[in-house]
Structure 1
Amino acid sequence: MIKQLLLNIILTFVWVALTGSLTIANIGFGFALAFFILWMRDRTGNDIRYFFRVPKIIGFIFFYFFEMIKANLQVGHDVITPHYFMKPGIVALPLDAKTDFEITMLSNMISLTPGTLVVDLSTDRKVMFVHVMYLESRE
């Protein structure tokens, strides 16, 4: 899978070098074109996990940025208006993450979202305690 990612990145930079345009749009198009070329070449191979994971990762990035913008607008609206709509609370979030990397990435994504903050992690690393500004329900 790493080999396919590196080959995709190399083909992307080859595309950028051939076109001579170093823009975000051209890099994105080059990445998509290289991904399609690799998919056409390797779609009958044994290791096709890469071709399922990359679209999911890209979709998650867009989803996360949309949720972060939405949270920024909600917190900004709450700060500007004279009435506070926040209902703060601490939520116990059960974890499926096993490795330190997974727990760190999850806690970073939670803390980067406005209105949330990771407070603590249980000693058995199965529960993360998160402070939220807008607690909808006690469940």
Structure 2
Amino acid sequence: MNIFTLNIVLAISWAALTGNFTLTGLVVGFAFGSAALYITRPLFPGSERYFLRAWRWIKLITLFLYELVVSSIEVVWDVLTPTQKSNPGIISMPLDAKGEMEVLLVTNLISLTPGTLSLDVTDDGKTLYIHAMFADDPDAIRKQLKQGMERWVIEAME
């Protein structure tokens, strides 16, 4: 049985013991199960990878939510103020993400962020075309996306 399955079993067991079969009860059970498995990780060979991967996914979600809030504020500010600072443009970005799932996750996270939209990926999956609301400096946008979302996705998917 792998560690994730064991963690699910512990979460369901927690919910059964407390009589709280709600989403909150399962999340609490999953958290307690994770803590118990983390403490006993020397007993489970290969569990280090599970916890490293879980940490990377938590990091990806947290950093995406931060980017979401910051870009939302920037777009709202530009829309509500009398002067328009937006300079829309289309940018091509070479992709380091390998595999369909990594490319799909990168493009979806970019599209979910206000002010940016993934337009197309080349057939070979090596270039992504992005519409940016603030495209004053395309190199800075490329750098921010490559060092931000794309890197976080690649780390989480390893």
- Please indicate, yes or no, whether the TM-score normalized by the shorter chain is above 0.5: yes
The one-letter code matched in structure 1 to 2:106 is L
Give, in whole Å, the separation in 2 of the partners of 1:125 and 1:116: 19
Unaligned runs of 5+ in 2: 140-158
Aligned match of 1:43: 42
Equivalenced residues, count: 137
TM-score of the aligned structures, taking structure 1 as reference length:
0.84
Gaps of 5+ in 1: none
> Any residues of structure 2 matched to 1:25-44 within 5 Å, and which?
26-43=25-42
Q: Match of 1:118, SS?
A: strand
The CA RMSD over aligned residues, in Å, is 2.0
Name the residue aligned to 1:107: 107
Q: CA shift at 1:45, angstroms?
A: 4.1
Shift of 1:49: 0.4
Are 2:97 and 1:121 equivalent residues in the alignment? no
1:90, distance to aligned residue in structure 2 (A): 1.8
Per-residue deviation, 1:42: 2.5
Q: Distance in 2 between matches of 1:136 and 1:31?
A: 45
CA distance in structure 1 between the partners assigned to 2:76 and 2:12 by the alignment = 39
Matches of 2:26 and 2:37, distance apart in 1: 16
Q: Give every structure 1 segment of 4 or more consecutive aligned residues whose post-TM-superposition deviation is greater than 6 Å.
A: none
Paired amino acid for 1:11: L
Normalised to the residue count of structure 2, the TM-score between the two structures is 0.75
Residue 2 of structure 2 aligns to a residue in which SS? helix
Alignment of 1:80-95 (within 5 A): 80-95=80-95
Distance 1:27 1:136, change over 3 A: farther
